[in-house]
Structure 1
Amino acid sequence: MAKLSSSAQTSREPAAKDAVEDFLKRRKKATINDVAHLAQVSKKTVSRVINNSPSVREETRDAVNDIIARVGFRPDPQARGLAFRRSFLLGLVYDNPNAQYIVNMQMGALDGLRGSGTELVVHPCDWRSANFLEDIRNFVESQRLAGVIILPPIAEDRDLLALMDELDIPYIRITARSGEDATPPIHAQQIVSRDREGCRQAGAHVGELGHTRIGYISGNLAYPSAHERRAGFDAGLAEHDVTIAPELEVPGDYSFESGYAGARTLLSHANPPTALICANDEMAAAAYRAAFEKGLRIPEDLTIIGFDDAPIATRIYPPLTTVRLPTRDMARIAAETLIQTEGTVKPTVIIDAALVVRGSSGPAPR
């Protein structure tokens, strides 16, 4: 359709207004064809506006949205799905025992989808199951997903990413390690958190406070984040010539229960640590409980450090010193990226983690 001159555009507006008023008098339910006719554009253009396509000029988008609002048009999600051969559903796939992390990711994805007409479908899975890939295939195909957000640790699974490519489904992985760091490399749309740098800051903070007996409760070693965080803490402590003694490191899996068991073990040591570094806030909160049972004061007797800056970090007392990872923002960016790129791969997005000092860290006891 040829572009109208400004004078032609102006002369058209009263006629368009009259046409909308005539349509409203008929008390008819508006269809996409009605919107196209009243806005004097093609049906395809209306469809592109509804689906937030970047290929529509701003003035055209505004005109079509104005007509949609005035006639009360409501797109049919099923019809939209048939027209595009996919539903307007975005999948969130995960296998992670940290409930707060998953909740934050869900809320972030919903933030990114708000107003887009696309809904979120959450799919927990068992990474260790023999049917893991078949389960994901069935989920994607049955829902006819428009895209998938893949959370760690399964975001590292090469076979899963190959399956996404085979199904020709847009996806974005959230990870603590970029594809360039992986072997073999992963060439995919991704949100990468700089866990290591935030943990370096935390390790340096503990070292600066004068602690030399430092306990460590690790994350699940099947997760790249566990290795990234440990490397960061070690680097920060090394700035003050401090290391974590092997006998003061215990395994965890990011759950409260593993943090509690690990903290009890470390605090029962003949020469217990004066600082506990935990690979996430859930385990750090569990360490508070173990410290209370031992009659230890925080931070006078024991410094505790976490990671995530989850809501629990400010709900316990004293408030937890932790590394802030904006998980909700990461999921929001992932959702926005998937619905805006229309399958075009965009560069990696880097998210910084940073230390937040609160009341749980203090000088080493003399």
Structure 2
Amino acid sequence: MTSSKTPNKSADDTDANAALESGRRRATINDIARLAGVSKKTVSRVINQSPFVREETRQRIEAVIAEWGYAPDPQARGLAFRRSFLIGMIYDNPNPQYVVNMQLGLLDGMRGSGFELVVHPCDRSSPTFLQDVRMFIERQKLFGVILPPSVSEDERVADLLRDIGCEYIRIASVPLDEEEHMIVGHDRLGAQAMGEHLVGLGHQRIGFITGLPSFRSSHERKGGFEDALAAAGLKLDADYVVQGAYTFESGLAAGEALLAKTPRPTAIFAGNDEMAAGVLQAARRAGLTVPEDLTVVGFDDFQIAQAVWPPLTTVHIPTRQVGRMATEKLIAREGHEPGDPASIIPHLVVRESSAAPKPV
């Protein structure tokens, strides 16, 4: 790689070029300014797409940036402009696949924007929860934060963000805030569609595994299922409802508890796919075949839904797309654009794990 040259190079300039060419250090904004023969301020203007730079100068600076692979440090850039180019994700979620899919979506939305992602796992039950969130935001000088469930459902967090003037987007199964702060998942509609599917197959004795009570989605999914049963003149038997924790292990335990009941349910609706996978394991341990002896269905349509056998009938929530939408909605604030209403309508995905019950 050859370096761009400026007139009358000093010995220091020569040493700096040698260090760059040897790979001993990465280019800085000062290097780009020196190599392009302009001021650091002019380089900053080009990086931030300012219109107040001559086209010839812009092209020269961009050529030097491309030649040396220079990328501005988000934290240093934020300090220079008295704002941050960092977006935080604050989460308290027991499902690792949800967290991964959400992060991928957030990164999709940031691509090409100059923003970077920092994550903060937390424990909402901790006595220092709010203090920890505040320290995270202030320490990182965040531009804004994305709040997935269940952190998004905590009004204390929203109040804190408003108090300190931090931009935010909440992701939840129901509207909890003004439109510019929300991505809404409508979990209730998805659970209702699943209930209609099971009733349509002829199931009446159905077990249900709820998620954590601290998650609004747990209540919305159960409520949607009950809505579908009520529309068919049926009722969810409380004796066939078991609480889970959105984990494989809790699904396995809940599945074993439901399959020990007499009479046994002909179908089990688990509040997410991880728990449904646990129910499949419980069914195998009990010597049952799915779906011939037992229908098992889930919710979310994560990767595990197609990795298990039989593949799960489930409700598709496009978590990665939700993450991308949340980031794009947050970044739009930089241009002071109004936030658009954003909602996701889940839909049923029928696979091999559901079938009509055996004739009595």
TM-score scaled by length of structure 1: 0.82
Partners in 1 of 2:138 and 2:126 — Cα distance? 19
**How far does residue 115 in structure 1 lie from its aligned partner after superposition?**
3.2
The residue that corresponds to 1:210 in the other structure is 202
Counterpart of 1:271? 263
Equivalent residue, structure 2, for 1:138: 135
Deviations 1:185-238 (A, max 9, x none): 556511110211121111100000001110000111221111111121122233
**Pick from 277, 296, 314: which aligns with 1:322?**
314
Q: Residue 166 of structure 1 aligns with which residue?
A: 163
CA deviation string 1:303-335 (max 9, x = no partner): 011000010000111100000001111112212
**Letter matched to residue 255 of structure 1:** T
Q: Which sections of structure 1, spanning at least 5 residues, go unmatched?
A: 1-19, 180-184
Instruction: Look up the equivalent residue of 2:200 and give its one-letter code.
Output: E
Pick from 105, 121, 128 the counterpart of residue 125 of structure 2: 128
Cα offset, 1:241, TM superposition: 2.5
Identity %: 45
> Is 1:116–2:108 an aligned residue pair?
no
Aligned partners of 2:194, 2:269: CA distance in 1, in Å?
9
Pairwise mapping of residues 221-236 of structure 1 onto structure 2 (< 5 A)?
A: 221-236=213-228
State how 1:89-104 maps to structure 2 within 5 Å.
89-104=86-101
Does residue 353 of structure 1 match 2:350?
no
Q: Which residue of 1 aligns with 2:21?
A: none
Residue 182 of structure 1: aligned partner:
none
Task: Find the counterpart in structure 2 of residue 198 from structure 1.
Answer: 190
1:189 alignment counterpart: 181
Which of 160, 167, 175 is the aligned partner of 2:172? 175
**1:342-366 CA-partner distances (Å, limit 9, x unpaired):** 1745033101111000000000111
Quick one: which amino acid aligns to residue 171 of structure 1? Answer: Y
CA distance in 1 between counterparts of 2:141 and 2:291 reads 52
Counterpart of 2:146 (choices 144, 149, 154) is 149
Give 1:14's aligned residue.
none
Deviation string 1:40-71 (CA, Å, 9 cap, x unpaired) is x966752432xxx9x99xx99x9686775467
Displacement, 1:73?
4.8
Which residue of the partner structure matches residue 280 of structure 1?
Answer: 272
Q: Is the 8 A contact 1:36 1:46 kept in 2?
A: no
Q: Take 1:85 and 1:176, find their aligned partners in 2: how far apart are those partners?
A: 35
What corresponds to 1:289 in structure 2?
A: 281
| Aligned equivalent of 2:23 | none
Deviation at 1:243, TM superposition (A): 2.3
The one-character-per-residue Cα deviations of 1:263-322 (angstroms, maximum 9, x if unpaired) are 111100010100000110010000001100111110011001100001000011110000
In the TM superposition, what are the counterparts of 1:299-338 in structure 2 within 5 Å?
A: 299-338=291-330
Aligned residues: 335
Distance in 1 between residues matched to 2:97 and 2:181, nearest whole Å: 25
Please tell me whether the aligned partners of residues 90 and 121 of structure 2 are also in contact (alpha carbons under 8 angstroms): yes
Match of 1:246 among 230, 238, 245: 238
Q: Cα gap change, 1:25/1:221 in structure 2, threshold over 3 Å: closer, same or farther?
A: farther
Partner in structure 1 of residue 24 of structure 2: none
CA distance in 2: counterparts of 1:81 and 1:253, whole angstroms: 39
Q: 1:25 to 1:193 in 2, by over 3 A?
A: farther
Q: Which moved more, 1:329-338 or 1:143-152?
A: 329-338
SS of aligned partner of 1:349: coil
Assess, with a 3 A threshold, how the Cα gap between structure 1 residues 212 and 362 changes in structure 2: closer, same or farther. same
